[in-house]
Amino acid sequence: MKEQIDYLESRLKARPEIAIVLGSGLGPMADEVSDPTVIPYEDIPGWPHSTAVGHAGKLIFGQLEGRNVVVMSGRAHLYEGHSIDKVVLGARVMARLGASKVILTNAAGGINLSYNRGALVLITDHLNLQGTNPLLGPNDDSLGPRFPDMTFCYSPRLRQVALDTAQRIGSTLHQGVYACLSGPTYETPAEIRYLRIIGADLVGMSTVPEAIALNHMGAEVVAFSCVTNMAAGITNEKIHHGEVLETGRDVSAQFINLIRAMLPSV
Ligand code: HPA
């Protein structure tokens, strides 16, 4: 992590207080940052490249709503073949650079039948079903404890800020539990029925490794899903990545409004 931090510190004008990780189709948020310093992932030594379509691959440091932010446009996923350490490297580096509050976003399949395509959901908790954990192996005590508590992985304070903000601006914000699988296949209808039984409202392939690594470091995390499609078997249709990206784009303005509006209180 040291080489990435040294490189980024040499390029930064100010330390970020808040990090925002953009999921599939939510890239337009990156354009909102004022006085931006844009750093392509290729320029950062040892930084994993994002191969997923819909993920740009750059860090944008600057200001949003008067707060110093870093926007991570494009993330590494386990399904791309990255090690779990690389999947969480970006989150760890941003936290080490000063971002003690992190807003994670993703595209997800909706399992809860009260959601519909385009719904925004505040993640209240997760099911880690990736079969791995970013904290496996010797513990780095300089990052956090061996056995981190996960009761408040998604900050109750920031969740309340999100709910209050949504109400204030008249934006509907659902709440739900996110199940994280490795992908890259979308789920089978039987898997979705199983996930519903075990308590999942949403399903996706990201966010949870970062939330775990950040919680370990004591960062405050808040996470949102955009329901880009109803999960497999709920409608009679196949799931296409194109649909995922399209829905992400359709709701990105609403998503950006919500995040901007909550930033002053984050
Ligand atoms: N399943 C898993 N990940 C996803 C989905 C889905 O249906 N939609 C967007 N990301």
CA trace torsion 151, 200, 84, 135 (10° rounding): 20
Backbone angles phi, psi at 204, to 5 degrees: -165, -170
Active site residue 174: no
pLDDT of residue 54: 59
Looking at the predicted structure, is the pLDDT value of residue 49 above 90?
no
Q: Which amino acid is at 12?
A: L
Q: Are 204 and 229 in contact (CB under 8 A)?
A: no
pLDDT tier, 194 (very low <50, low <70, confident <90, very high otherwise): very high
Cα distance between residue 94 and residue 73, in whole Å: 13
| Ligand 1 mean position, distance from CA 205 (Å) | 7
- Which residue minimizes the CA distance to atom 7 of ligand 1? 109
Task: Quick: pLDDT tens for 122-132.
Answer: 999 999 999 99
What Rg do the C-alpha atoms of the chain give, in angstroms?
17
Atom number in ligand 1 closest to CA 181: 2
β-strands 120-128, 34-40 pairing: unpaired
Active site residue 10: no
C-beta 207 within 6 A of ligand 1: no
Look up residue 91 and give its DSSP letter.
H
Cα distance between residue 159 and residue 163, in whole Å: 6
Choose which residue among 205, 208, 227 to substitute to test ligand 1 binding: the one with the highest number of ligand atoms within 8 A of its C-beta: 205
